[in-house]
Amino acid sequence: MHETTDRKRIAAADLDTPVVTVLLDRLERNIARVQDIVARTGKRNRPHVKTHKIPAIGAMQVAAGAVGLTCQKLGEAEVFIDAGVADDLLVTFNIVGSAKAGRLMDLSERIGRLAVVADNETVLHGLSEAARGRGRIVPVLVECDSGFGRNGVQTPRAALDLARLADRLPGLAFEGLMVFPNTAPRTLEFFSEAVSLFRASGVPLPTLSGGGTPSLNALSDYPMMTEHRAGTYVYNDVMMVHSGVAGWNDCAMHVRTTVVSRPTADRAVIDAGSKVLTREQYYVRDFGHVVEYPDATVVNLSEEHGVIDLSACRDRPRVGDVVNIVPNHCCVVSNMVDEVVGLRDGMVELVWPVAARGKVR
């Protein structure tokens, strides 16, 4: 599955910058480790591809034991199905409108199982109409909001109502519930109540799908969940280190950048700005972790410049030095570049096109 170019055998040190690199030993270790964690808690592993957007990495996840993959957008699913890397996909996004419902049906005709989530009646009716037109049965999970404050029905009772509607509508088969992330504050309460309510109502719940990398060390706290969708774990990033689920040595994505200016004793400017690192912060204060200078702070980004405060550093880089940055949020960095370069032992081993880059529809 590895796609290579003539850059093979080039040393990492000779790569032009900025460049997004993937440390392949770490990537492989992360995939194996999380497969083991999920399997040991008796759940099915269904990694989310939005982090890497690279079919070859999806194939590695399936080869490690994932039952299938998760895509956020139909465009991602189209790329992964074209690449033939999975026969079982879950699309975790409400499909609104007949054009998208038609695309979903096209895809569902091409693989063994394509399931989708829904959190409202409009989406269910649209899916049903499209499925009926094709003579297909589409598996549906009802998305629940257990405190994250995004999509999702607000109560187990509302989930049951939607489940019953899905079962009544032609072309749909209710298969269970889905939530993101497990760490949302009411997940345990919501799902415990839902399991009792559905049981009392005689509606089977074959799939309870949880998600997120930060909850990986606490999967056994959610015993009712049958599958888990983690995404960020393949690369990890500053947020995952802050959440305690990864260390710096688990971070497989590095942005290699060159110091292009040292305007003052305390300031370095690198050739990667918001067009590579993005300005994502969530709960992080600055804009990335500098591997070689852990006391440095990436204090600001403009589009093509990254500004680093060196005042806490004893050693300081010179103009022309290359530094590696662990981004705050690796998933959005994937969407910024056409390709990532896979490194092993300081050498380029492969170049992967980020095939689902920009596939946001």
Ligand X SMILES: Cc1ncc(COP(=O)(O)O)c(C=O)c1O
Residue with tokens 């689920």: 245
Which residue's CB is nearer to ligand X, number 211 or number 317?
A: 211
Q: Residue 209 phi/psi, 5° resolution? A: -105, 115
Give the bridge partners for 88, in sequence order: 113
What track of x and - describes contact with ligand X for positions 33 through 62 (by CB under 6 A)?
---------------x--x-----------
DSSP secondary structure code for residue 184 in this structure: S
CA gap 163, 58 in Å, rounded: 30
At position 110, the amino acid (one-letter code) is R
Please give the residues from 207 up to 266 whose contact with ligand X meets the rule CB under 6 A. Answer: 211-213, 229-233
Query: Binding of ligand X at residue 357 (CB under 6 A)?
Result: no
How many Å apart are CA 147 and CA 126, to the nearest integer?
A: 27
State which residue, 70 or 328, has the beta carbon closest to ligand X.
70
Stretch that binds ligand X, among 55-63, 166-174, 206-214, 263-271 (CB under 6 A): 206-214
- Among positions 76-95, residues that touch ligand X (CB under 6 A) are 92
- CB of 79 or CB of 330, closer to ligand X: 330
For the CB of residue 239, give the shortest distance to ligand X in the complex, in Å.
9
Least Cβ distance, residue 331 to ligand X (angstroms)? 6
Q: How far is the CB of 209 from ligand X (least distance, A)?
A: 8
Determine the straight-line distance between the first and last CA of the chain, rounded to whole angstroms: 26
Minimal distance in Å, beta carbon 241 to ligand X? 13
Cβ proximity to ligand X: between 232 and 297 the closer is 232
State the number of binding residues for ligand X (CB under 6 A): 14
| By CB under 6 A, residue 180 contacts ligand X | yes
Nearest approach in angstroms of CB 44 to ligand X is 14
How far apart, in whole angstroms, are the C-alpha atoms of residue 113 and residue 88?
Answer: 5
CB of 46 to ligand X, least distance (A): 9
How many other CB atoms sit within 10 Å of the CB of residue 135? Answer: 9
Residue 47 or 306: the one with the smaller Cβ distance to ligand X is: 47
Binding site for ligand X (CB under 6 A): 48, 51, 70, 92, 180-181, 211-213, 229-233
